[in-house]
Amino acid sequence: MTWSEMRPLLEQASDETLYMVGWSALIAILGGLPLGVLLVLTDRGGLLQNAVVNKVLGQVVNIARSMPFIILMVALMSFTRWVVGTTIGQDAAIVPLAIGAIPFFARLVETSVREVDHGLVEAVQSMGGSTFTVVRKVLLPEALPSLIAGATTTVVSLIGYSAMAGTVGAGGLGDLAVRYGYQRFESDLMWIIVAILAVVISLIQLAGDLAARLLSHRGRASTGS
């Protein structure tokens, strides 16, 4: 296969992968952030301590995280059809990708928020701050560098999951690698896809690490002043 033949295939597959990963990452962050914060707030000693709620949420997150993505994708087919009207295509793949990533990111959020100095929380509470104020003014800002790192890890994981989304006709680089690189023995195309994924993942990780580092330094500077 010549480069002129591979180029349109690679461009289309790259667009499909970016589309799936972008939307599923956004949904995962919007869903996982409040879920992770709620796990901390309802835990023992939390501002909204509730053992029952915390245990139920924890079990749901654990079960969802432990389920292999390919099984989750099949199990959610009826739900996917209800949400987007089909079980085939990129939009259909976004549903299981997002649902699988939400509990993953929620646990990372939980870990990040737990690292926040409890003394800052007590200080805001002593000034009459509500739970919402504590979350908005202390927990999220202080945990932001770690949250950025967690979001970066989630996006990188979603790129890997998106390769399996080809089983529902979603396309993407993973699907292209299987159909052409493996089934048709186009080894050149396979290695080009590997290189593209390596570069994309490296750039995402670099950007995430840089953003987390800058926010961390800014936080220390503001604390010191």
**What digits encode the pLDDT tens for the residues 157-191?**
998 888 777 766 778 888 888 787 767 777 888 89
User: What pTM did the predictor assign?
Assistant: 0.88
pLDDT at 217 over 70: no
* Range in 56-70, 138-152, 177-191 the model is least confident about: 177-191
Q: How many whole angstroms separate alpha carbon 178 and alpha carbon 190?
A: 8
The residues near 41 (Cβ < 8 Å, ≥ 6 apart) are 47, 48, 49, 131, 135
Average pLDDT, the chain: 87
pLDDT of residue 66: 85
Cα separation, 68 vs 221, whole angstroms: 43
Predicted pLDDT at 181: 73
Asked if residue 206 has pLDDT above 90, the reply is yes
What sign has the CA pseudo-torsion 40, 45, 48, 54? positive
> Span 42-60, mean pLDDT?
90
Instruction: Look up residue 87 and give its DSSP letter.
Output: S
- The C-alpha atoms of residue 66 and residue 81 are separated, in whole angstroms, by 23
**Burial readout 79-105 (b: 16 or more C-beta within 10 A, e: otherwise):** ebeeebeebebbbbbbbbbbbbbbbbb
| Mean of pLDDT values over 83-111 | 90
- Distinct helix (H) and strand (E) counts, the chain: 10, 0
Q: What percent of the chain has pLDDT over 70?
A: 94
φ/ψ of residue 14, rounded to 5: -65, -45
pLDDT higher than 70, residue 221: no
